[in-house]
Amino acid sequence: MPRSLSNPTVAAQSKPTAKPKDRDPVASGMRDAAFNRAASHNYFLSDKFEAGVALRGTEVKSIREGKANLKDAYGLLKDGECFLLNAHIGPFSHGNAMNHDSLRTRKLLLHKNEVRKLESATRQKGFTLIPTRLYFRKGRVKCELALAKGKQEWDKRATERKREADNEAKAAIARSQRR
């Protein structure tokens, strides 16, 4: 009888080891869980703040599954606290009767001095708080809030013209370098 079969430790060592499965890029923080693409189109974004989000367990699991949407969401300051409204987090697929409400108001966790800065900034005419992205940092869900001022229709057209001109310039540079 061969020696490797009689000794279980040698037989176990000769087995090919399976490659460990990579972590989900959303859960590991390499990729955003949700991104508000309409924010930069509809608003001029200035200062950005990172805020924690007070969530329930099924909400965190839904965000990991990619069921979060920030399109119509906005921030609200009330009584020295900050809240996230209209952020849609879909129900958890394996949730039960205790699953969360999709559009519930969620509390944002900020330092007092950040809340004071935001309160003074949003008192100015035309400024509001817009969430730009949801992501994970060290296993916790974070929300990036931007201080935003609404764009007029002509502002949106000017931004689009500038973007097209920049793309054309980059393409012309690339064409000239290929020759």
Q: What angle do CA 160, 165, 167 make, to 5 degrees?
A: 95
Answer yes or no: is 8 within a domain.
no
Is residue 169 in some structural domain? Answer: no
Number of domains forming the structure of the chain: 1
- Which residues constitute the domain of residue 31? 23-151
pLDDT at 51: 92
Q: How many CB atoms lie within 10 A of CB 27?
A: 15
CA gap 11, 5 in Å, rounded: 6
Structure-block tokens of residue 30: 């390499």
Q: Is residue 86 part of a domain?
A: yes
Q: Residues 22-32: pLDDT tens digits?
A: 667 776 667 78
Residue 167 lies in a domain: no
Q: Is the pLDDT of residue 9 over 60?
A: no
Whether 32 contacts 137, CB under 8 Å: no
The DSSP 8-state label assigned to residue 136 in this structure reads E
Contact 51, 45 (CB under 8 A): no
Token match 């699991």: residue? 61
User: Which tokens belong to 137?
Assistant: 């940092």
Residue 30 lies in a domain: yes
Q: Tens of pLDDT along 103-141?
A: 889 999 999 999 999 998 888 888 899 999 999 888 888
CATH number of the structural domain spanning residue 97: 2.40.280.10
Residue 58 lies in a domain: yes
On whether residue 134 sits in a domain, the answer given is yes
Q: Quote the pTM value.
A: 0.70
